[in-house]
Structures are given as structure tokens and as C-alpha cells.
Amino acid sequence: MDITRRHMLRAGVGAFGLAALTPQLRAQDAAEVDGIWTGALQLPQGDGAALALRIARAKDGQRVVRLTMPAMHVFDAAIEALEPLGANRFRLDPFGTVATLHGDRLSGEFAYLRVPFALDRVAALPD
């Protein structure tokens, strides 16, 4: 077997192995984001809006996102199954919200409006 074929074979085997490992890595990422998160949206007019998320595994095995946003009269509403995107990134809802996990901080842009938010992991939702 010539060198070029050998390199192509190695690359193909490596890509196949990486593809097989990707779902496991995404599952591990998703487990790390489970919990309760509180913080605020940073609105364009300068003020903020309180935001909280609860992310937990449902009975069917998917992770469900529950949203609380008092300014919108939304309290613990199930909005979507969490979609791991890899590299500690997650799609949180059907409205385009994507967040990145950095330790105990979850940050990103909310919905199609792309309003920035930052949430910190907490033990329980505030009263």
C-alpha cells in the first residue's frame, strides 16, 4: 500500500472514530448544564429583565428547559428540549437562543432579538 493510501485510510478511520465519540461528548456537555440558572437580559434601553432557567432531564431522557421571566409574566414554563451543539454550546429554545457554558456561568444571546444575557448557577430559584 502506498503512503498516500495509508494516510487516507488513517484519516478515514480517525474521522469515523471521532464521529462515533461525538454523541458521548455532547451528552457529557449536556449533563454539565443541568441545574438552576438566574440572571438578567441586558436590554437595549439600558435596563435589564430578570431571567431564570431550570434545565433538567425529563422522563424520556431529553433535557428540558423551563423559563421564568417575570417581566413577561412567564413562570417555570417548559419551552423546549435542550440541544447540545458541542464545545459547551447549547440551543435553549425554538426562538434561536444559543448559550455557552463557562463553569458556573451560562451566557449568550436571547432569541432572534440577540439580547445578551448572563446567568449564574444557583441552588434554588428566588422566591
Taking only the tens place, the pLDDT of each residue in 13-29 is: 444 433 433 343 344 44
Taking only the tens place, the pLDDT of each residue in 95-126 is: 889 999 999 999 999 988 899 999 999 999 87
Overall domain count for the chain:
1
Whether this model's pTM surpasses 0.85: no
pLDDT of 7 over the 80 cut: no
22 domain residue, yes or no = yes
Residue 64 CB partners (closer than 8 Å, separation 6+): 55, 56, 57, 58, 78, 80, 81, 82
Is 82 within 8 Å of 91 (Cβ atoms)? yes
pLDDT of 37 over the 90 cut: yes
Q: Which of 97, 107, 116, 112 is nearest to 38 (CA)?
A: 107
| 83: amino acid identity, one letter | E
The CATH number assigned to the domain holding 66 equals 2.40.128
35 domain residue, yes or no = yes
